[in-house]
Chains A and B, each alone.
Chain A
């Protein structure tokens, strides 16, 4: 496997990891009973969404 192919595989894994953490944060957001935590989780989601959408 050449360098570009290896890089592409790792990049796809990286997006999957981002999606995994986004799902985890969304799950915590839904389950929490603490309003402060809910605000915190909603802020934490922002960079993951931007990355998955390939905006940043």
Chain B
């Protein structure tokens, strides 16, 4: 895609993409935190 192929004007709508981005950031951070917790040996869980 060339820069000229991108349309001009103001983007309208797109709220669902905003929600998806924020939700995914929480999903990923919490999911990775959970994976670290599960992988931590019992003696190191403090």
* Bind each other: no
